Structure formats: C-alpha cells, structure tokens
Structure 1
Amino acid sequence: MAQAIFAGGCFWCTEAVFRSLAGVSAVESGYIGGTVPHPTYKQVCTGTTGHAEAIRIEFDPDVISLADLLDVHFATHDPTQLNRQGNDIGTQYRTALFPLDDEQRTEAEAAIARAQAERSEPVVTTIEGPATWYPAEDYHQEYWQGEGQRNPYCLAVIPPKLAKLRKGFAEKLKG
C-alpha cells in the first residue's frame, strides 16, 4: 500500500471523490502545511494557521497509479483558482500536493504539466512539504457517506464532482 496527500478545497468534497476509486482502501480528511501543531477545524477555518484542508489517500499502486490519482485530482477540482474553490475562499482551500518522497514529487510535477496542457488559464497548484499531517476531527471523516448527503453545501458541490469522475474515469471506479 502507498499513500498520497492532496489539497483541493473542502476536504468533504475531495474525500467523496477518492472513496469511489478502485484500489483506494482509505481516505482520511485532515490538515497539512501549517504552523500550528494539532490544529482544530475552527483554527484552520480562520485561515491563519497556514494549513490546507486535505485528504490522505491509502491506495494499492498495483490497482491504481499515483499518476491516475493525480489526474483524477486535477479533473475534479479547479486548479486555476488561487486560494479558493468555488465559494470556499482562503489559503486553507488552496490547491496543493504534498509529496511524500522524491518519486512522488516528480509525479506531481508531471501531473501539473499535464493539467496545464489541458487549460489556457495558469494552474496554480503548489507542491509543498515535507509537512506534518494532522487528521481532522472524527465528525469530518466519511462525511459525505453520513451527514453530507443532508448538507445543502455538499449536495451542491459533491454530485457534480462525482459526475466528472464517472464521465472521465469510469474504468477506475469501484465495481
């Protein structure tokens, strides 16, 4: 098993996408890239801790590659929006990759180049780290599967992301 850490806006919304992929065994919402040890959701929401809302994906590289995960990431959020995704505004919603080693850094650079080749606007996704991972509070985990399907914000944001996933990556979805 391998791990990857991506930030692309609200972690509830990105977690829902990656849970649908074959080869992904776990997705954890959390915080990374900031200066405050063990931040809380309330602290991160202020935008003053430097953390991004992110997801840590555990996956089987024999089933789905890091390159595929990165391509899904770039297809299901807007990597051209600086410090925001839709109505979520602030550095905590930035688009960023947090490679865990040099090989992942090389993959991240290649994925950004692929994403840029598909767009006329500049891709603003950053490559950051190394940085400490902090799991988000329990109530944020598997949010879409529970509370999220009753949350108007999630109902507005997540289904379009899942539609993009189904359209562009149907062969990568769990059976």
Structure 2
Amino acid sequence: MVLVGFGGGCHWCTEAVFQPLVGVRAVRQGFIRSDAPFDSWSEAVEVEFDPELISLRDLISVHLATHASISEHKMRGKYRSAAYVFDTDQQMDCERIIADIGSEAQTDFITQVLMHRGFKSSDERFHNYYQSKPEKPFCQAYIEPKLAKLRTQYKQLLQGEHDR
C-alpha cells in the first residue's frame, strides 16, 4: 500500500471522488499541512492505494480533473491545490506526472507538490459525507457533478467497472 495526500476543494468532495476508485483502500478526510509557507492546515484527504490496481498517475489525473486545478481563488488558503507526498521520490514522480498531464492538455496547473508534514482528521460526523447523505443539497450541487465526471471520463477506474 502507498499513501499520498490531495487537497483542492472541500474535503467532503475530495473524499467522495477517491472512495469509488478501484485500488483505493482508504480515504481519510481532514486537514494537511506542509513546510512554511504552506504550514497552515488546509482541507485535504489522505488516500491509501494499491499501485498494482491503480497508478499514481491515474489518481493525480482524477484529482486535477475534479477541482479548480488551474485557477487561483480567494479560498486557496483553506482549499490549497496540492498533492502531499512523503519522500523525495514520490515528490519527483508527482511533479513529473503533473507536468506531463499539463503538457498533454496544454494547461498550466497551479497544483503544488508539497511534503506531507501533518494530518488531523475532520470531525467524525463529516466522514463519509456523500455516502451517508447523497440527497443533501450540498452533495447534489457540489459532489454529484464531480462523480458524474468520474462516470463519464474515468469509468474504467471505478470499482465494479474495471473488469468489464
């Protein structure tokens, strides 16, 4: 198993995006920080995955496609666009993958690759938010469009779909 962190939007949304992916063993919703000047807590998730079943490139591709990864906005402190890594090898891999995807898409991503320096879990009542409350207005307005994108653009990565 390998661990990586992702931040970019609300952790309720990010959690819901990664949970249905094949090879993802666990998604922990909370806050991650890095080294200064990125040492403030920012909403994010830790994703534990099996690289035999899903690649880091696939995870990053999904991440870049399901949040505002090309635009700065006033909430970037709370919703830092980042991949959080645990060592320099993983850092180099993530940087290369983001650059490659950007080149292929002819897009400049603002997503940073930062060292993971701490995690704190969000309040347990918010864990599995979409799974437990899919009918809520927030879920319908913000999470469901991201999942619809997964179903159309990343169907092969969804649990139950990759064997078909």
TM-based fold match above 0.5 = yes
2:30: which partner in 1? 30
The answer to whether the 8 Å contact 2:34/2:114 transfers is no
Q: CA deviation at 1:63?
A: 0.6
**TM, length-normalised to structure 1:** 0.81
Alignment RMSD, CA only? 1.9
Q: Following the alignment from structure 2 to structure 1, what is the Cα–Cα distance between the partners of residues 78 and 97?
A: 22
Runs ≥4 in structure 1, deviation > 3 angstroms? Answer: none
Residue segments in structure 1 that go unaligned for 5+ positions in a row: 36-48
Tell me the alpha carbon deviations over residues 24-78 of structure 1, each in whole angstroms, 9 at most, x when there is no partner: 111110111169xxxxxxxxxxxxx821100101111111111111111111112
1:55: which partner in 2? 45
The answer to whether the 8 Å contact 1:4/1:56 transfers is yes
Q: Following the alignment from structure 2 to structure 1, what is the Cα–Cα distance between the partners of residues 100 and 126?
A: 31
Q: CA deviation at 1:139?
A: 1.3
2:15: which partner in 1? 15
The answer to whether the 8 Å contact 1:25/1:59 transfers is yes
Paired-residue identity, %: 38
Q: Following the alignment from structure 1 to structure 2, what is the Cα–Cα distance between the partners of residues 71 and 34?
A: 22
Q: Following the alignment from structure 1 to structure 2, what is the Cα–Cα distance between the partners of residues 161 and 53?
A: 17
Q: CA deviation at 1:95?
A: 0.5
The answer to whether the 8 Å contact 2:11/2:30 transfers is yes
Q: Following the alignment from structure 1 to structure 2, what is the Cα–Cα distance between the partners of residues 16 and 127?
A: 21
Relative distance call for 1:34 and 1:59 in structure 2 (3 A) is: closer
Alignment of 1:1-175 (within 5 A): 1-33=1-33, 50-83=40-73, 89-117=75-103, 118-120=105-107, 122-147=108-133, 149-175=134-160
The answer to whether the 8 Å contact 1:83/1:94 transfers is no
Aligned pairs, number: 156
**TM, length-normalised to structure 2:** 0.86
Residue segments in structure 2 that go unaligned for 5+ positions in a row: none
Q: CA deviation at 1:111?
A: 2.4
SS in 1 for 2:115: coil
Q: Following the alignment from structure 1 to structure 2, what is the Cα–Cα distance between the partners of residues 141 and 32?
A: 16
